[in-house]
Structure 1
């Protein structure tokens, strides 16, 4: 229920108002004082759209086991007894995208740890054990030394050389890279022109080499790339590439995943538009009905996919069985959406299945396009 802060006089025309009036009987303005702090408005928003009351509890059962039933009830005008579609979507989407963000960052962290462990083991195994023994080192002590050195590099900017030596090293690395490129051009007949795509001209090996070296700035690395004359967009891509490569993968992934809720919120009206076009012959199917239907379908999908992510990341340890929760969720969401189409639009099964498949195919293409665009925009503004 909307929260109103009623006044004794209309803020528009000054007419006296009784406490029972939600609107001024003289000018029609709403009897509500919005001249309050942002904190109060934010609290009103959460109380209005995210509060879980008896209506929310009453909506859970039909929401889970009766596809399309809540959509029909809302369109019929029976809205007081059940949770508002926007409130239902917001509550479940907060749960889902929180899980997606945490699982995504954890997966990247685990992958990084595996790569570091694998590379460390390979380097240790490749080292002559006799030489280690001469130095009084064992594989375990070497590992501890490496961990300590990496820790100091990441946290305090520790380095074995001063800034001048680093600059020379960067230049030498770049020069060596150019020499290898020139020699390989003769063998492979490959030429690199200044008008090549900017990402093809960036020496990512050099960026990776100085990824954790805090004494080398991003500007120094940019200058060492020797990219010559650049357009505004080329320079932007080059500098953002340096920034992204030298950033923590978990932070970058978190930034990208943080924008997913907005992307999906934009896609919901587009999904409703697809439904509007496919059911254009049904004159009684207003666009708002498709919006409500889209909100309920996405809420159901978020709920079960969120549960499956929890099972995969926190409960099921055997990798052979981790695909099972997602497969079950996909089947449930697909069947739920199909039966929801049938109940809401009340067409024969053949037409329902055909339009369901068309909607799904078109929507998957849009999701892919929007996701790629969201990644690119996120990386450009990171």
Structure 2
């Protein structure tokens, strides 16, 4: 007697009811949508968060180079895909890092505003000490002085407060610089409604600037006016995940140059994905530990050193060369990346964050 047939809700094909999964598309026969199923499917489909992850995690942490070697040998269903394990662990890391960066952003914003406020206070006190308040009020009401101040600001780029002090008391007031320019000049030009390009030139921009220079000074003026240094730091942190996707292939290129006869570029990229996943996992565990207890400095130092020894052992296992040559090449990879690639990337990311924050 034939079993009763049911229709798959996914592919709409009929099959016998004793099947737990559709033989045509693989969907579960009785796949009722519950809250648990919804979140499990979301995680498992996006990150492949299944038994393969747990099978991959321990070798990733304690067997340097093992997963990469197994993957290029063809064992690709037993372990999680290198790009997926990197994606999952990096998401966890940046989630944890966001708590630290938030405190740093708030601290930077507060310190920057306090610094700018102190500069304003000192500037106002200097002018107050140099000019009698009553005399200044009477003189400022005259059109003659107004014309003098405006004319000098427009023609010579001298701040209005400096002009008042110099014209009334004959006492030289040193210009107050902030962010690399004279704040009194900028404030004076802003107060009289000068065009932005005129203000930017007073800040140091050339008369015929390139698009990059114009944008640079515009952002500097924006930072001065808004006084939100924390937003600049946040923009830098937000750029790091994107920068890492650029650094990954660069790291693989370094490996390719050193091991040009040891597989294609994709092989080196597989190694890179697993190695960076290990790095993010170590940093994630360190952040978690910092939340719980204050980690001593020497422990942090040992963890940083352990990442190099992990790289050394991974290179030895994955590329199969001798201990000496593996140690030598691991040093070249580490120093090239840390001393040249990473600083250059930080500079580029910093400039990009400043230009577009």
Which TM-score band (shorter chain)? 0.5 to 0.7
Residues 112 and 227, structure 2, Cα contact 8 Å, conserved in 1: no
Instruction: Please point out which of 13, 27, 52 is paired with 1:55.
Output: 52
Residues 43 and 49, structure 2, Cα contact 8 Å, conserved in 1: no
Equivalent residue number for residue 358 of structure 1: 332
Instruction: Please point out which of 254, 272, 282 is paired with 2:234.
Output: 254
Deviation for aligned residue 1:295: 0.6
1:373 aligns with 2:348: yes
Q: TM-score, normalised by structure 2?
A: 0.64
Cα separation, 1, equivalents of 2:312 and 2:70:
18
Structure 1: segments with no counterpart, 5+ residues = 9-17, 23-42, 125-163, 184-198
Structure 2: segments with no counterpart, 5+ residues = 1-9, 14-21, 27-39, 122-145, 167-176
Please list the CA deviations of residues 250-300 of structure 1 after superposition, one character each: whole Å capped at 9, or x if unmatched.
Answer: 222111111111111111111111111111233xx2222111110111111
The aligned runs of 1:230-379 (5 Å cut-off) are 230-233=208-211, 234-245=213-224, 246-282=226-262, 285-312=263-290, 314-316=291-293, 323-364=297-338, 365-379=340-354
The aligned runs of 1:1-382 (5 Å cut-off) are 20=24, 47-111=44-108, 113=110, 175-176=158-159, 203=181, 205-206=183-184, 223-227=198-202, 229-233=207-211, 234-245=213-224, 246-282=226-262, 285-312=263-290, 314-316=291-293, 323-364=297-338, 365-382=340-357
Cα distance change on mapping 1:263 and 1:217 into 2, 3 Å: farther
Cα distance change on mapping 1:220 and 1:99 into 2, 3 Å: farther
Cα distance change on mapping 1:310 and 1:216 into 2, 3 Å: farther
Asked which structure has the greater CA Rg, the reply is: 2
Cα separation, 2, equivalents of 1:346 and 1:358:
17
Cα distance change on mapping 1:204 and 1:54 into 2, 3 Å: farther
Deviation for aligned residue 1:324: 3.5
Residues 202 and 225, structure 1, Cα contact 8 Å, conserved in 2: no
Alignment: residue pair count: 279
SS of residue in 1 equivalent to 2:261: coil
Cα distance change on mapping 1:224 and 1:291 into 2, 3 Å: closer
Cα separation, 2, equivalents of 1:271 and 1:218:
51
Please list the CA deviations of residues 81-126 of structure 1 after superposition, one character each: whole Å capped at 9, or x if unmatched.
Answer: 11111111001111222333432341243355567789999xx9xx
Residues 101 and 258, structure 1, Cα contact 8 Å, conserved in 2: no
Residues 113 and 227, structure 2, Cα contact 8 Å, conserved in 1: no
Deviation for aligned residue 1:201: 10
Deviation for aligned residue 1:236: 1.8
Cα separation, 2, equivalents of 1:369 and 1:326:
24
Cα separation, 2, equivalents of 1:207 and 1:70:
61
Residues 101 and 254, structure 1, Cα contact 8 Å, conserved in 2: no
Deviation for aligned residue 1:381: 2.2
Two-structure CA RMSD over aligned residues (Å): 4.3
Cα distance change on mapping 1:74 and 1:7 into 2, 3 Å: farther
Deviation for aligned residue 1:328: 2.6
Cα distance change on mapping 1:260 and 1:216 into 2, 3 Å: farther
Cα separation, 1, equivalents of 2:288 and 2:45:
28
Q: TM-score, normalised by structure 1?
A: 0.60
Cα separation, 2, equivalents of 1:315 and 1:344:
36
Residues 82 and 273, structure 2, Cα contact 8 Å, conserved in 1: yes
